Structure formats: structure tokens, C-alpha cells
Amino acid sequence: MLLFLAGTSDSRELALRVQSAGYPLLASVVTESAAESLQAVGIPVRSGRLNEQQMAELICERQCTGIVDASHPFAEEASLTAMEVAKKTEGFYIRYERPAGEYGTHPSLRVVQSYEEAAVEAKKSPGVILLTTGSKTLEIFTNQLLNQPGIRMIARMLPREDNLTKCEALGIPQRDIVAMQGPFKEELNRALYEHFAVTTVITKESGKVGSVDEKVGPALDMGLNVILIARPRLDYGCVYTQMDDVMEHLNKGKGVGDVHSGI
């Protein structure tokens, strides 16, 4: 059996391909909505974050021979944990990462290497800042941008109760919260930019499948500033950006062992 780290739309497609090829797997996701998406297409799934000990125990319990890591490009902690667990349990680890986008150069586009750098850059350009990086790193931005003269910060995130509770605890007014489930098309992004009179958009380089193009393109067309947070730079060892390559790796049994015999 394989432990399959999932949670994105393209990871669901890969999980289906792996399972259809005859490889038993258990998908691990963080949110209930991601679990429901996988269950709807017949993928066995468990939900909730896993620390290193929990992941190792799960692998032993399910007799997993390895890990296919198809988690979000910014799920750095999950990937680091998976690599360490694979090493300690003597299983294999392969990484599928959706291809990165190509954005070239544009005078209104700034690429930064961290959330902290993004917050500092945004502070240099007063106006209406739309934050589309989720709730996990929200405090980094509120520390720099909230209640600053000439700055209004709009936070867009998933419509989850814990996200709204976090916003309230950090002092973000309700009028500055957009709680919506993506992905969003260009037309909706453009409408939001116009509605809030946005001047700067902060987003992550999650790849084309992550709807980054639909955020960045309209923003640049409208003359807005875009701050793009680059992906974490991890040494995954074995990493693929095409699903066909993942399947070829599994089919050739490169370090896979007898995954068909897993229970």
C-alpha cells in the first residue's frame, strides 16, 4: 500500500490514476472538504494533519511501502515530515509537484522568497491590499499591514469557522474578509479587484492548476501591483512535474517494493 499525500485538484487526478493502475493507497488530507472530494471518486482517505510520529505509526499500521507526496507546493512542513518518515521507515518517497508558471518580467510584478518579505514589500505601497495566501500565515501580514496609515488589507480565504475565528482574534474587520471557496475565474477576480478598489495583490506561486494565472493576469492588465511569493526550495530527491513520470516510476518499481500486496 502507498500513503498518498493529497489535497489539491490535480492530486485527486493522480490518486485516481495510481489506484486505477492497481496500486492500493490511502490518501491523507488536511481538510474535510478535501476528504469529501476524494471519497466522492472512490479514494480511501483519512483527514487531519499528521506529525512525524503519527505518520510513521500510520505507515506501520497500514503496511505502506512508501509515500507519494502530491501535497500543495507550499505544504513545506508536510513534505519535510514525509521525507523524514520515509527515511526512518525505510520506505520510498517520490514527489509530484504541479509545474510552476512562467510569468516573465513586468514592472508591476515583484517576486519574493517568503511571506515576511511579501508583507514588508506590501507595506511600501499604501492602498488596498488583497491577500490571497490563506489563513495559515495571516498573522505575518497583520503584524505589518493591519491598522497602518493609508493601508486597507482585504483577506480572502476558505469559508471555514476556524478561519473567521482567527480573523476576529487578529482584529480584521468583517468588511475586510472575503470567505469563498475557489478556484476563481479571471472574471471573478477582476470583479473583486474592482469592488474593493484593490491596488496590490499578494499571492503564492502555486502553479497554473492553482489558478495563479487567473489572479496575476487580470491584476497586471488592470495596472495593479502583484507580489508573488516563490515556492519553498526543498531538496525532494525524487521529484516529478508530470503525472506520466510518476506512473512510469511506479510501474518500473523504482524503489517501490511490492506495493500491490499492501493491505
CB distance 71 to 11 below 8 Å: yes
Q: What is the mean pLDDT of residues 159-166?
A: 94
What pLDDT was estimated at residue 140?
97
User: What integer best gives the mean pLDDT of the chain?
Assistant: 90
Q: What number of other Cβ atoms are within 10 A of residue 139's Cβ?
A: 15
Average pLDDT over residues 100-119: 87
Higher pLDDT, residue 175 or 104: 175
> Helix (H, G, I), strand (E, B), or coil: what is residue 57?
helix
Q: Is 218 left (phi over 0), alpha (psi -120 to 50) or beta?
A: alpha
Handedness of CA 132, 134, 137, 140 (dihedral sign): positive
The CATH architecture assigned to 2-99+233-261 reads: 3-Layer(aba) Sandwich (3.40)
Strands 109-112 and 45-47 come out as unpaired
**Nine cell digits for residue 166:** 482567527
pLDDT digits (tens, 9 = 90+) for 52-78: 999 999 999 999 999 999 998 898 999
The structure's pTM equals: 0.83
- Report, as an integer, the average pLDDT of 11-34: 93
pLDDT (average), residues 154-183 = 94
**Fold of the 109-229 domain:** Rossmann fold (3.40.50)
Quick one: pLDDT at residue 260? 44
Tens of pLDDT, residue by residue over 197-226, are: 999 999 998 765 546 788 999 999 999 999
Task: Give me the count of residues in the chain.
Answer: 263
Is the CB of residue 199 less than 8 Å from the CB of residue 223? no
Give the residue extent of every domain in the chain. 2-99+233-261, 109-229
> Quick check: do 2-99+233-261 and 109-229 share a fold?
yes
Residue 259, pLDDT score: 47
42 band by pLDDT with thresholds 50, 70 and 90: very high
pLDDT digits (tens, 9 = 90+) for 115-147: 999 999 999 989 999 999 989 999 999 999 999
